[in-house]
């Protein structure tokens, strides 16, 4: 089997979980219970990992697009015999509208085939493999029609309106004809094997309900800036990556898609990162609406809990779980034989000094909506984080890119410590008697002086990645974006120029460091923001449009783009890439607005 490109996949979501469906009609990834739980289809990571393919038997030319303002995907296959459309969606709860989307998703995958012209022979191949491919289910015909698949804790029921389905040992394989005007509809419903049975929906009606649910949700969101189609699409992706029950935004749908084909930097991104918090809040504020941002903030406050001596983890599970211990799935070959495949992410154990800066900055951004004074738990969280930063900022950490080698004094981490205390000082009037703005301000000023002195490298002529290092790091582009230094400051302007020259490329992509073979999409959008802030809006716009050209045909970005081949790399769809797009578009629209 030839491995599909990462950009070949379209993204479906019910705001509980998500699925990836390829241009070839194969659903190769679905974790139906929750974004960060076990898959039932994992061919994305191993040919034997399970899939559900529904496509013409003959080779076809493919056209596809989302239905307007939805994550419902319509794929048209043109064959010599005729054309068919396959519309795929994860079902919304019947009657759900607006912000109800995802609160009680039924965990049902819908696939509706429509004959458009001629007569097309279709092939169905259904091979579920629960628990990331470890289990091969028993398949049983059901008296009311359909096939029940059970293995371990999982029950799946596949039904077809108008077609008989019969299992053959560990899969369902069949062909059927779809003439013009005929509709054949399928639904695949999941449930825990010892819980309530899988939901039963009429797939055509459920598909219509799902379209209406998405469109009603998007009607509440307005964006009037530049690049409206791209911003609205990226906002849809962020909504689709939001676990509705808690408000947490998953960093990506997938685990272990490699940063480099054949490499081992393959991590599980199906969790929510606090480091991304302020950037995410800003993007939701711009591209979605304050309700999403407020719900995400409430999730963070609950997840962090009472601040103690231990550092706040950089990431949490989608319902606030802290222990995300990592293990390897040695039975999976990995995408394009890129091992290991990891479940869990041990970055939760790392010391990350930048986390409080993102959280307190987000509180500052929302302060007008959070009451005056703040509620007790919110005051305690901000004061606790500020005190922790003031006490620990001199320590080394793992840095923004979560290195797994030696701790260092990373420039971006120190700058975010400055941001934490700067925003805490501004919030002090709402923080009650325990606030110590004078002490925080003194520490803030010491951090700033230290970064300006130790972060600059005369030989390189730029702020580098870590104190005493000559290695460039694109995280320096975040300094003006966060407001640590103006982009017009001579040293900052020199840094932007050096990073663009040494880490940039002709097609607008920016690598994180010198030996990285791929452009990091977020860093590329940071460069756009830096150029706007430096007064070069025209050049920033041209760069922005070059970066947009690396999205797939559905407007989706993974984490990185290989500079040689142009293929997408890393987990997909990547929230940070779409966050960067929204924030850069807003910067182009309102250069003076934070």
Q: Cα separations (Å) of 549 from 232, 400, 510, 542, 554?
A: 16, 26, 14, 11, 11
DSSP-derived 3-state class of residue 149: strand
- Domains of the chain (ranges plus CATH)? 6-219 (2.70.98.10)
Exposed e or buried b per residue across 49-64, where buried means at least 16 C-beta atoms within 10 angstroms of its C-beta: bbbbbbbbeeebebeb
Q: How far is it, in rounded angstroms, from Cα 518 to Cα 393?
A: 31
pLDDT, position 383 = 96
Look at residue 248 and tell me whether its pLDDT is greater than 80: yes
Q: How far is it, in rounded angstroms, from Cα 303 to Cα 297?
A: 10
Q: Which residue spans within 299-343 are E strands per DSSP?
A: 315-316, 327-328, 342-343
Strand partners, 119: 179
Q: Which residue has the tokens 């580098």?
A: 464
pLDDT of 56-74, one tens digit each?
999 999 999 999 999 999 9
Q: Between β-strands 248-249 and 568-569, what pairing exists: parallel, antiparallel or unpaired?
A: unpaired
Percent of residues, the chain, with pLDDT higher than 70: 99
pLDDT band at 285 (very low <50, low <70, confident <90, very high): confident
Helix 575-589, helix 537-548: angle, nearest 10: 150
Q: Which residue spans within 310-423 are E strands per DSSP?
A: 315-316, 327-328, 342-343
The whole-number average pLDDT for the span 496-521 is: 96
Strand partners, 315: 273
Q: Are the CB atoms for 361 and 423 separated by under 8 Å?
A: yes
Look at residue 429 and tell me whether its pLDDT is greater than 80: yes
DSSP-derived 3-state class of residue 7: helix
Q: How far is it, in rounded angstroms, from Cα 71 to Cα 554?
A: 10
pLDDT band at 292 (very low <50, low <70, confident <90, very high): low
DSSP-derived 3-state class of residue 524: helix
Considering only CA atoms, which of 113, 112, 124 is closest in space to residue 180?
113
Largest CA-CA distance found in the chain, in angstroms, rounded: 77
Considering only CA atoms, which of 439, 294, 301 is closest in space to residue 360?
301
Q: Between β-strands 456-457 and 342-343, what pairing exists: parallel, antiparallel or unpaired?
A: unpaired
pLDDT, position 423 = 98
pTM metric for this prediction: 0.97
Q: How far is it, in rounded angstroms, from Cα 4 to Cα 20?
A: 12
Q: Between β-strands 73-79 and 61-66, what pairing exists: parallel, antiparallel or unpaired?
A: antiparallel
Lowest average pLDDT, out of 197-201, 220-224, 229-233, goes to 220-224
Question: How many other β-carbons are positioned within 10 Å of the β-carbon of residue 366?
Answer: 16
Considering only CA atoms, which of 269, 271, 229 is closest in space to residue 246?
271
pLDDT, position 291 = 67
pLDDT, position 370 = 78
CA 533 to chain CA centroid, Å, is: 26
The CA-based dihedral angle spanning residues 469, 473, 476, 478, taken in that order and rounded to the nearest 10 degrees: -150
DSSP-derived 3-state class of residue 108: strand
Q: How far is it, in rounded angstroms, from Cα 557 to Cα 519?
A: 12
The whole-number average pLDDT for the span 295-309 is: 83
pLDDT band at 256 (very low <50, low <70, confident <90, very high): very high
pLDDT of 2-60, one tens digit each?
789 999 999 999 999 999 999 999 999 999 999 999 999 999 999 999 999 999 999 99
């Amino acid at each position: 089997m030839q491995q599909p490109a990462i950009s070949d996949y379209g993204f479906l979501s019910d705001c509980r979980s998500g699925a990836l469906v390829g241009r070839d009609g194969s659903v190769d990834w679905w974790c139906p219970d929750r974004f960060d739980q076990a898959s039932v289809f994992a061919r994305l990571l191993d040919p034997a990992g399970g899939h559900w393919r529904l496509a013409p038997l003959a080779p076809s030319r493919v056209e596809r697009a989302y239905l307007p303002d939805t994550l419902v995907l319509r794929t048209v296959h043109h064959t010599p015999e005729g054309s068919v459309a396959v519309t795929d969606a994860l079902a919304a709860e019947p009657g759900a509208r607006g912000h109800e989307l995802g609160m009680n998703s039924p965990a049902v995958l819908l696939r509706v085939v429509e004959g458009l012209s001629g007569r097309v022979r279709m092939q169905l191949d259904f091979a579920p493999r629960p628990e990331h491919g470890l289990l091969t289910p028993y398949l049983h015909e059901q008296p009311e029609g359909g096939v029940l698949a059970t293995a371990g804790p999982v029950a799946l029921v596949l039904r077809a309106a108008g077609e008989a389905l019969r299992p053959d040992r560990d899969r369902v394989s069949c062909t059927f004809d779809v003439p013009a005007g005929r509709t054949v509809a399928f639904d695949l419903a999941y449930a825990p094997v010892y819980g309530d049975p899988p939901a039963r929906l009429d797939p055509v009606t459920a598909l219509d309900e799902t379209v209406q649910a998405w469109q009603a949700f998007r009607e509440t969101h307005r964006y009037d800036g530049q690049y409206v189609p791209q911003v609205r699409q990226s906002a849809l992706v962020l909504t689709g990556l939001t676990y509705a029950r808690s408000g947490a935004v998953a960093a990506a749908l997938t685990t272990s898609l490699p940063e480099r084909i054949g490499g081992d930097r393959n991590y599980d991104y199906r969790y929510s990162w606090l480091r991304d918090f302020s950037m995410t809040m800003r993007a939701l504020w711009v591209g979605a609406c304050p309700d999403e941002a407020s719900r995400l903030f409430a999730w963070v406050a609950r997840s962090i809990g009472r601040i103690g001596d231990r550092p706040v983890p950089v990431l949490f599970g989608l319902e606030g779980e802290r222990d995300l211990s990592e293990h390897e799935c040695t039975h999976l070959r990995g995408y394009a034989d890129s091992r290991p495949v990891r479940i869990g992410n041990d970055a939760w154990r790392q010391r990350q000094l930048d986390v409080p800066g993102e959280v307190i900055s987000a509180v500052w951004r929302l302060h007008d909506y959070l009451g005056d004074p703040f509620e007790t738990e919110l005051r305690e969280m901000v004061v606790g984080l500020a005190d922790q930063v003031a006490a620990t900022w001199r320590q080394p950490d793992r840095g923004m890119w979560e290195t797994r080698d030696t701790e260092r004094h990373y420039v971006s981490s120190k700058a975010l410590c400055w941001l934490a205390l700067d925003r805490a000082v501004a919030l002090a009037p709402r923080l009650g008697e325990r606030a110590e703005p004078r002490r925080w301000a003194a520490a803030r000023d010491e951090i700033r002086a230290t970064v300006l002195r130790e972060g600059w490298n005369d030989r390189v002529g730029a702020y580098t990645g870590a104190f005493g290092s000559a290695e460039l790091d694109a995280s320096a582009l975040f300094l003006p974006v966060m407001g640590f230094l103006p982009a017009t400051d001579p040293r900052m302007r020199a840094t932007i120029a050096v990073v663009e020259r040494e880490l940039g490329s002709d097609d607008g992509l920016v690598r994180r460091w010198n030996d990285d073979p791929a452009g990091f999409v977020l860093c590329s959008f940071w460069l756009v923001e830096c150029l706007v802030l430096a007064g070069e809006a025209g050049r920033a716009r041209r760069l922005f449009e070059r970066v947009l050209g690396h999205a797939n045909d559905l407007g989706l970005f993974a984490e990185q783009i290989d500079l040689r081949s142009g293929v997408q790399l890393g987990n997909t769809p990547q929230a940070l890439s779409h966050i960067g797009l929204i924030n850069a578009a807003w910067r182009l629209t309102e250069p003076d607005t934070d």
